Amino acid sequence: NIRLPRNIVAALVGACLAVSGAILQAVMKNPLADPQIVGVSSGAGLAGVIIFILFPGYDHIVPLVAFLGAMAAAMMVYALAWKNGVRPSR
């Protein structure tokens, strides 16, 4: 039966998303931080769009480039926050 493996994978994906959200909130020291507010999702989307525009034949590397764009956006946000001291509120 295909339902049990699908449910197990869905539970694992949900657990991984929960852990990644907890790590993001711990690193940013902000309990309300999420990828949309911080800008990580926008960085991933921008990198994906740039690859689609500049290299239309390389559709298979879009997930990797989107991940790299998200990491770059997260590092930029953290670097800007580090300048004034990372605090949950200003």
Q: Tell whether 57 is covered by a domain.
A: yes
Grade residue 86 by pLDDT with cuts at 50, 70 and 90. Answer: low
Identify the domain containing residue 61 by its residue range: 3-83
Please say if the pLDDT value at position 89 is more than 70. Answer: no
Q: Tell whether 67 is covered by a domain.
A: yes
Q: Tell whether 88 is covered by a domain.
A: no
How far apart CA 34 and CA 30 sit, in angstroms, is: 9
Q: Tell whether 45 is covered by a domain.
A: yes
Number of folded domains in the chain? 1
| Tokens describing residue 1 | 């039966």
pLDDT on residue 47: 96
Grade residue 30 by pLDDT with cuts at 50, 70 and 90. Answer: confident
Q: Tell whether 40 is covered by a domain.
A: yes
Q: Tell whether 63 is covered by a domain.
A: yes
Q: Tell whether 89 is covered by a domain.
A: no
DSSP state of 59: G
Q: Tell whether 34 is covered by a domain.
A: yes
Residue with tokens 């559709």: 59
DSSP state of 88: S
pLDDT on residue 38: 84
Mean per-residue pLDDT of the chain: 88
